[in-house]
Amino acid sequence: MRFLHSHKTLDPEHQETLSRSFFQGRAGKEVQHCIQCGTCSGSCPLAHEMDLGPRRILALLRDGFLAEVLGSRSIWMCVSCNACLTRCPQGVPVSDIMYALRVMSLEHNLARREFKMPDVYRGFVRQVEKRGRVSESRLAAGYGLLHPSDMPGRLSLALRLLRRRRI
């Protein structure tokens, strides 16, 4: 099986430890309830942006490809809208599973460097832990410090928002 994102390989022992840890947790146990109907992928508003759709992620997890899933872009694209859970005939909480995968990806440094969403995620979590809420302007400023080359393209949007008193 070939993956577009197999950027890091884990030794078999580390892979086994990660898998055991994931499947002993609540999210890992929920994966086992998936019947592969595809409703989650069909319901996901961002499935077209993912390298692996939700159904494929659940199948790969069950088949033991945890490192590949942790290195995928897809786990960072989930916006936790819960359209998948609402429509799932088995009640599989895909967004909770995606959250658990994000945490594991960061804990084990498996997020690909070219993905910028982990940086946004870290900034979001830091703000919630520190202040109990999120300030979009602080989040954007933190992102800008980490990725200054992205900011010129965002300047016109910022100016329009400022004019409309949205910032």
Residues 48 and 72 in one domain: yes
Rg (CA), the chain: 18
* 3 — pLDDT class (breaks 50, 70, 90): very low
Residues 72 and 134 in one domain: no
| Cα distances (angstroms) measured from residue 153 to each of 20, 104, 126, 128, 143 | 43, 32, 25, 27, 13
Residues 129 and 148 in one domain: yes
Asked if 60 and 6 count as a contact pair (C-beta separation under 8 A), the reply is no
Give the pLDDT of residue 14.
78
Residues 88 and 18 in one domain: yes
Q: Which carries the bigger pLDDT value, residue 114 or residue 81?
A: 81
Residue 33 resides in a domain = yes
Burial of 94 by CB count in 10 Å (0-12 exposed, 13-18 middle, 19+ buried)?
buried
Summarize pLDDT for 14-55 with one digit per residue, the tens: 778 888 888 888 898 999 999 999 999 999 999 999 999 999
Residues 69 and 90 in one domain: yes
Q: How many domains does the chain have?
A: 2
CA torsion sign for 10, 52, 30, 38 is negative
Residues 123 and 90 in one domain: no
Summarize pLDDT for 111-141 with one digit per residue, the tens: 887 888 888 888 998 999 999 999 988 888 8
* 1 — pLDDT class (breaks 50, 70, 90): very low
Asked if 85 and 94 count as a contact pair (C-beta separation under 8 A), the reply is yes
Q: Write the single-letter amino acid at 46.
A: L
- How far apart, in whole angstroms, are the C-alpha atoms of residue 84 and residue 24? 23
Q: What range does the domain containing 96 cover?
A: 12-107
* 60 — pLDDT class (breaks 50, 70, 90): very high
- How far apart, in whole angstroms, are the C-alpha atoms of residue 73 and residue 64? 18
Residue 145 predicted with pLDDT over 90? no
Residue 4 predicted with pLDDT over 60? no
Query: Considering the chain, what is the average pLDDT of its residues?
Result: 87
Residues 20 and 88 in one domain: yes
Query: What percent of the chain stands above pLDDT 90?
Result: 48
Residues 97 and 65 in one domain: yes
Residues 97 and 140 in one domain: no
Residues 90 and 21 in one domain: yes
Asked if 7 and 112 count as a contact pair (C-beta separation under 8 A), the reply is yes
Residue 165 CA, distance from chain mean position:
31
Residue 64 predicted with pLDDT over 70? yes
Residue 112 resides in a domain = no
- The CATH number for 34's domain is 1.10.1060.10
Domain boundary among 61, 81, 107: 107
Residues 44 and 95 in one domain: yes
Residues 87 and 134 in one domain: no
Tabulate helix, strand, coil % of the chain (nearest 5): 65, 0, 35
Is 157 in a helix, a strand, or coil? Answer: helix
Give the pLDDT of residue 8.
58
Residue 67 resides in a domain = yes
Domain boundary among 77, 107, 137: 107
